[in-house]
A and B are shown apart, each in its own frame.
Chain A
C-alpha cells in the first residue's frame, strides 16, 4: 500500500516536472510574445497600436515573474485549458483533436502489422534456433535497428511510387496514401520487436521446467503455445511500453517524410511558426502519454506477476 502511495506521489511529481520543463522552454523562447498574440488576434492589421500590446501583456500576465506566470499557467492546464493557438486563434484542444485521427490510424495499423510480423518471425526463430529463418530474423533485426526511418521511407517511395508507380508518395486522404507510411513504420516496429521477442522466447525455452514438461511427453507446439508464450509475455509487454517513445518518434519522422497530416506534422509546423501554446500542449502530450503508458504497464505487471509486488520488482 505504501508502495502504491509512493508511486502515485512520484507520478504527480513527474507530471509537475514535465510541465515545469515545458513552460521553461516556452518562457525562454526568443521573440516578443505579445506581438505574436496580437498578430494572431488581428491578422489583417498592418501595425499593432502600443496600447493593445500593453493590454495583452496585462491579460496574459506576460510581465509576471517566472514562478507566478508558471503557477498561473499550470492552474489553467490542470483545469484542461491550454489556451488558443497564436496563429489560428482556435482552441489548442480542437486543433489537436482534428489531427489526432490520422496519427492514430497510422500508428495502430503499423503496430498491428509490425507486431504480427515480429511475432511470427521471432516464434519461428525460437522454435528452430540456428536455422536459416533464425539467422534471417537476426539479420533483419540488426539491419532494421540501424536503418534510418526516413531513409527507409525514401527507398520505399523510390521503389513503389517513382518506379513501379503503384502507390501515391505524398499526402493524406485515401487508403492508398496510408500504405507506404504504414509499411515503413510497420517494418520499423517489426525489426525492433523481433530481436526482443526472439530473446524472450529463447529465455523462456531455457527454463528448467520446460525440460520436465518435455520429458513428460508434451509436444513442442503445446509447450510453445501454453508455456513459452506465457512466460515471454511479461518482459515483452514492458519493452513494448518502453518502445512507445520510439513509436511516436517514428510516427513524427514518417508523417513529415510522407507529408501526411497528423500530430507529427502539426508539431513540426507549430514549432517552426513558434506557435507556443500549441508547442507546449504537444510537448506535454508526448511526455505525459509516455509516463502514463509506462506506469500502466508496470501496474499490469505487478497485478499479473506476484513476484513483482511490494518492492521485489526492479
Chain B
C-alpha cells in the first residue's frame, strides 16, 4: 500500500507540474494580453487565431481562461491549505484536551459548521463589500471545521491503538507521540478531505464571483467571466460555454485524483 501510495503521489505531482507548466507556457506563448480589448474583433466564435473565440470587448477567451486559472486554482488552494492546517491543528488539540476542553472546542466548531459556506461567504463578502480579499477571508472563516472534526475523530481513535500506548509506556513525550505517531497516521485521510475541499472551494469561488460577491469582472476569474458573458448568451454562447467547461474539467480532475487517493488508502471499500 505504501508503495502504491508513493507511486500515486509521484504521478500526481508530475501531473500537477505538467498542468502548471502548461498554464505558464501558455501564458508566455500566447500573443494576447488577457486585458487587451480589440473592438474590431468582438464576439468572434472560435477560430484559428482565437481558439476559444473572443468576448464582448474582443479579448482572447483562451488567454483569459489560462490567466483565470491562476486566480481560481491559486486562491482555492490557498484557502484550502489554510483550512487544512488550522483545522487539523485545532482538531488534534481538541482530542488532547480532556472532556471539558474537547466539549468547548467542538461546540465552537459546530457553531461555525452550521453556517452553509455560501451563506457565510455571501454575508461577509456582501456586508464588508464584494472584493477578492473579502471573498478569501470569508471562505477561510468557513474552511477549517471539516478538518477539525475529522482530525479529532482520527486522533482519538489512533491514540487508543496499541503502538501509541507502547510509545507512551516507553516514556515518549506527548509532543513526540503527536508528531511521530499520530500525525503521520491521520495525514492521508486529511489529504483526501483536502482534495475534496479544494474542488468545492473552486466551485464556491466561481459561484460567488458569478453572483457578484467575489472577484470582480474586469479580472479574468472563471465565474466573473461567466457573469461578463451572460448577456451575450443568445448571440455568442461560447462566452459562457468555455469558462464553465474549464471549471467543470478542473473540479472533475481534482475529484478523480481524490477518489483514487481514497481508494489507495482504503483498498477494501469500493
Q: A residues engaging B (CB < 8 A)?
A: 6, 10, 13-14, 16-18, 20-21, 25-26, 29-30, 142-143, 145-151, 154-155, 157-158, 162, 199, 202-203, 245-246, 248-249, 252-253, 256-257, 267-268, 271-272, 274, 276, 279, 282-283, 286-288, 290-291, 314
- The count of A-to-B residue pairs whose CB atoms sit within 8 angstroms is 136
Contact B233 A162 (CB under 8 A): yes
Quick check: which of B32-40, B55-63, B106-114, B179-187 contacts chain A, the rest being far away? Answer: B106-114
**A146 and B199 form a contact (CB under 8 A):** yes
Query: Chain B: which residue is nearest A13 at the CB level?
Result: B107
Partner of A25, one of B124, B129, B223, B248: B124
Per CB-CB distance, the 8 closest pairs between chain A and chain B, nearest first, are A17-B111, A271-B126, A151-B244, A146-B251, A287-B114, A146-B252, A249-B118, A245-B116
* Number of B interface residues in the complex (CB < 8 A): 44
Q: How far is the CA of A287 from the CA of B252 in the complex (A)?
A: 29
A18 adjacent to B116 (CB under 8 Å): no
Q: When the two chains form their complex, are residues A290 and B126 in contact, meaning their CB atoms are under 8 A apart?
A: no
- The interface-forming segment of B44-52, B81-89, B206-214 is B206-214
- Contact partner, A246, options B103, B112, B116, B247, Cβ 8 Å: B116
How long is the Cα–Cα vector from A136 to B199 in the complex, in angstroms?
22
Q: Encode contact with A along B89-122: 1 for CB under 8 Å, 0 otherwise.
A: 0000000000000010001101110111111101
- State in angstroms the CA–CA spacing of A179 and B10 once bound together: 47
Q: Is the CB of A158 within 8 A of B237?
A: yes
Which listed residue (A10, A146, A157, A268) contacts B107, Cβ 8 A?
A10
Please, what's the 1-or-0 string for B225-244, where 1 marks a CB less than 8 Å from any CB in chain A? 01000100110010010001
User: What are 11 inter-chain pairs, A to B, with CB distance below 8 A?
Assistant: A17-B112, A26-B127, A142-B255, A150-B211, A151-B247, A245-B116, A253-B118, A283-B115, A283-B123, A286-B115, A287-B115
Give chain A residues whose Cβ lies under 8 Å from the Cβ of B127.
Answer: 25-26, 29-30, 271, 274, 276, 279
